[in-house]
Amino acid sequence: MPNKISPRIADYVNALPLAPGLRVLEVGCGPGVAAREVSRRIGDGLIVAIDRSAKAISLAEEGSRAELQTGRLQFRNIAVENFELPPGEEPFDIAFAMRVGALDGRHAELEKQARARLKAALKPEGLLIIDSREPVRGRDIEV
């Protein structure tokens, strides 16, 4: 059931400092459950949800037809360590990740690359929120 949200994901999304008009990046979106919930909470904002798995993106798109039609949700099949803003695209206010291998400390070099990409994609005052760690401002992301 694509619109079913687990208590863990609901709690995580509820804790995000979401507001109408924000630009949000989800890293490692899987089947898109959190992305759909965020899209419902940001009014005329935008959520871009990325995942390295083409299968995950396919499932996310299939389960998100209504949200995709609003224009407030986009999915992209790309790994975080390769993510770049297209020319002319505004940076994000918030980037978040739940249980993403490239950001959980197990792969130091991959995490360094991913953090550099996230720093470049966030506004200087934007927030990077990874699992239960303290949020970090874009300008303060260590690479």
Task: Read off the pLDDT of residues 27-37 as tens digits, 9 standing for 90 and up.
Answer: 999 999 999 99
Range of the domain at 58: 1-78+86-99
Could you tell me if residue 121 is inside a domain? no
Residue 8 counted as domain residue: yes
Burial group, residue 11, by CB count within 10 angstroms (0-12, 13-18, 19+): exposed
Task: Give the residue carrying structure tokens 């909470």.
Answer: 41
CATH number at residue 15: 3.40.50.150
Question: Is 27 inside a domain boundary?
Answer: yes
pLDDT tens for each residue of 14-62: 999 999 999 999 999 999 999 999 999 999 999 999 999 999 999 999 9
Q: What is the mean pLDDT of residues 117-138?
A: 94
Q: What is the pLDDT of residues 80-109, one digit of tens each?
A: 999 999 999 999 999 999 989 888 888 888
Structural domains in the chain (count): 1
Residue 46 in any domain: the answer is: yes
